[in-house]
Amino acid sequence: MEQFDPTKVTRILFEGFSLPAVGLFYLAGLAALAAFAHGCWVEIRKYRRGAADPASATLLWQRFKTMVGVVLSHRTIERRDRAAGRAHRLIFFGFVLLFAGTATITLEYDFTARLFGFRFWHGRFYLWFSLACDLGGLALLGGLLYMMVRRGWIKPPKLDYTRPDRAPGAPDYDRRAYRIEDWAFLWTLVLIGATGFVLEASRLVWLQARPEVWDLRWWSPVGALLAEGLRGAGLSAEGAGALRGGLWWFHGLIALTFVALIPRTKVKHVFTASGSLMLRNPLAAQSLPRTDPQAATVGYSKITDLTWKHLLNLDACTKCGRCHEACPARAAGAPLSPRDVILSLREFANDALEKKELPDEAKLSVHGKDIGQVFMETLWSCRTCMACVEICPVAVEHVPIIVQMRRKLVEDGDMDPLLTKTLQTIHKTGNSFGESKRKRPAWTKGLPFPIKDARKEPVDLLWFVGDYASFDPRNQRVTQAFARLLHNAGIDFGILYDGESNAGNDVRRVGEEGLYELLAENNVALLQQSSFKRIVTTDPHSFNTIKNEYPQFGGRFEIVHHTQLMAELLREGRLELQRPLGLRATYHDPCHLGRFNQEYDAPRALIQAVGCELVDMLRSRDNSFCCGAGGGRIWVPDPVGKEKPAQIRMREAALIEGLQVFAVACPKDLTMFEDALKTTGNEGRFVVRELTELIEQCMTPAASTVDTACEPA
């Protein structure tokens, strides 16, 4: 380097081109930028036509820092698909390096040099710049080639765009346009990267007589290798000059076309995905929004009812299929794919909202059977398990969008008659079983000790029991066992007796917001009138709504799940375990305890404490597979002939060799899985047990009358 004049160690950008040719290129560049700006304005206008979302305007700097961390780390993209995550990282950082390189050249050539006479793109800076761009281009091409192999040969099922919510032959069944777009996106970037390298190589061969170019060619290693190949193939300097001239225009026009089409193609996810991540609500599905009492309609009826943030979510979707793969409803054959709900709404929004003038209101409805609309059957298939929201790498809020659309269906009475009846029953009796409120504490009569009425006297621990734990005969056995554990541990506890009502978690996720608010307000008022230090519940559904949603109604309470409390009591020595069970067990993470509230360790600690060998299923923790009861689906029969999510889960558990106990920590799980145990033919191979039962069994001598059905043979 020292032997050359540093000012000559550079690249003259338009060397060999006439002034008219350079002017033509600048005109093309300005046209591309104008097209880009217009496309951006159309997208911004589309989002502005959505409803307001004041919460998204808070904590912007903190949100921005979080988004940058997620984007740079790629942690959401790598989850459960490391190969795709690594390839995307190569594409992303390779693209960023090349973009930064282009911006640097523009900065020097069109601004600092012209306006201030300051040039920096030469000498050692230029050499290191050239090396960085070569490595960036190589990373970009490597990532792109893997993605092409993945789509063309590996073909993971999640990238199959077959729609479960449309019949073959339906006008919007065929998603061929998306496949074409995906391949066009990949090939365009490959062409930009590949022609950039060949352009560099042809320039080196063209200027091989200049020592400051040829002798320093290995600072551009990929271009230098290609240049050696071109020379070896007999390409002369003159031929290389002609090749370079043609490639220069081809490469430049492709790049400019790429820029112009960013707002109108998949490429815009670079911006929309970042925006979606920045506006991510960490409690998107855990704490659903209240309805506006002044609004003319409830929920999402028209595309303009969606908040602008949810419209941005639609554009952020990259069609990666992870939500499609994770959805238990889709796996069970229901006409639902979270991905397809989002894409349908995106197509609808683009068609209706990108026009200069909005269409008539009648054409804005997102409900129905027309192109782009979402079917009622699709919305009611959702279990609101949050598997889609949790795995989405770009923070799309599928469940809140679906629930908002359900709210409109509920308002119009478009739901299963059995669901309608159940909601009416809850409104009338305060529980989903239709039992008299006086029967809610009936399970306490089988206990040899009294339980305090927390409405009448102060207690340390208030137990919010829940419907299934109170009325279902099988779950009543667990409820009584937990009461015995609390009593034996010397806990000062009480219940609300007939004052307790359904917590409302599933009522809200059905979309019956009015009934939910009635239940929540009544429960909050009663809890505020009672004297206690904290709440415990055996029901993860009640746990979630009391913890995350009751604060919307002024009810801020400290609450723990019973597995957390039992783990705490074991650590403190207040529960004495007398014998290890010695069983081989697996554990099902309930959606509302695991994904919703990130409690995975306490239940596993209990299983290990009772001396069981814990073997996790293939899908566990945040990837746990829903039992199928959530979102009110426990109140609606599944279609005849379709396998239920609980049956899929039970077959998964049956693959564990020597399994003796399928442990659960949710009343609905106990109901769903004991039924699935029978219908899948696994009865007798292993048993379904609630964790409380295992703890109590471990505290009791072997000769006890406590249920020993899960004892090892």
pLDDT at position 695 is 97
SS (H, E, C) 445-457: HHCCCCCEECCCC
Q: How far apart are CA 522 and CA 201, in angstroms?
A: 75
- Cβ count near 393 (within 10 Å): 25
Q: Give kind and range of the element (H or E) at residue 452.
A: strand 452-453
SS (H, E, C) 515-531: HHHHHHHHHHHHHHHCC
Chain segment 350-367, per-residue pLDDT in tens: 999 999 999 988 899 999
Chain segment 163-213, per-residue pLDDT in tens: 999 999 998 898 899 999 999 999 999 999 999 999 999 999 999 999 999
pLDDT at position 709 is 47
pTM greater than the 0.85 cutoff? yes
Q: How far apart are CA 78 and CA 86, in angstroms?
A: 7
SS3 534: strand
Count Cα atoms within 13 angstroms, Cβ side, for 460: 7
Q: How far apart are CA 500 and CA 486, in angstroms?
A: 20
pLDDT at position 623 is 96
pLDDT at position 703 is 40
Q: How far apart are CA 344 and CA 372, in angstroms?
A: 5
Q: How far apart are CA 419 and CA 380, in angstroms?
A: 10
Chain segment 436-463, per-residue pLDDT in tens: 999 999 999 989 999 999 999 999 999 9
Residue closest to 563 by CA, chosen among 536, 591, 583? 536
Chain segment 642-657, per-residue pLDDT in tens: 899 999 999 999 999 9
> Is the distance from CB of 383 to CB of 639 less than 8 angstroms?
no
CATH class of residue range 428-568: alpha beta
pLDDT at position 638 is 86
Q: How far apart are CA 208 and CA 258, in angstroms?
A: 32
Chain segment 208-238, per-residue pLDDT in tens: 999 999 999 999 999 999 999 999 999 999 9
> Is the distance from CB of 392 to CB of 398 less than 8 angstroms?
yes
- The segments of the chain whose pLDDT lies below 50 read 703-706, 708-709, 711-713
Show Cβ contacts of residue 473 under 8 Å, excluding neighbours closer than 6 positions. none
pLDDT at position 116 is 85
- Cβ count near 310 (within 10 Å): 24
* Domains in the chain: boundaries: 19-43+82-162+171-264, 283-415, 428-568, 578-698
Fold (topology level) of 19-43+82-162+171-264: Fumarate Reductase Cytochrome B subunit (1.20.950)
pLDDT at position 322 is 96
**Which token pair is 151?**
């789509």
10 Å CB burial of residue 614 (0-12, 13-18, 19+) is middle
**Which token pair is 444?**
């306490």
Q: How far apart are CA 291 and CA 298, in angstroms?
A: 7
> What's the longest Cα–Cα distance across the chain?
101
CATH architecture type of domain 283-415? Orthogonal Bundle (1.10)
CATH of 578-698, one of 1.10.10, 3.30.70, 3.90.1690, 3.40.50: 3.40.50
* Token pair 């945040």: residue: 622
Cα 528 from chain centre: 35
**Which token pair is 366?**
């997102």
Same fold across 283-415 and 428-568: no
Q: How far apart are CA 449 and CA 68, in angstroms?
A: 57
Q: How far apart are CA 461 and CA 6, in angstroms?
A: 78
Show Cβ contacts of residue 296 under 8 Å, excluding neighbours closer than 6 positions. none
Between CA 530 and CA 535, with CA 534 as vertex, the angle to 5 degrees is 85
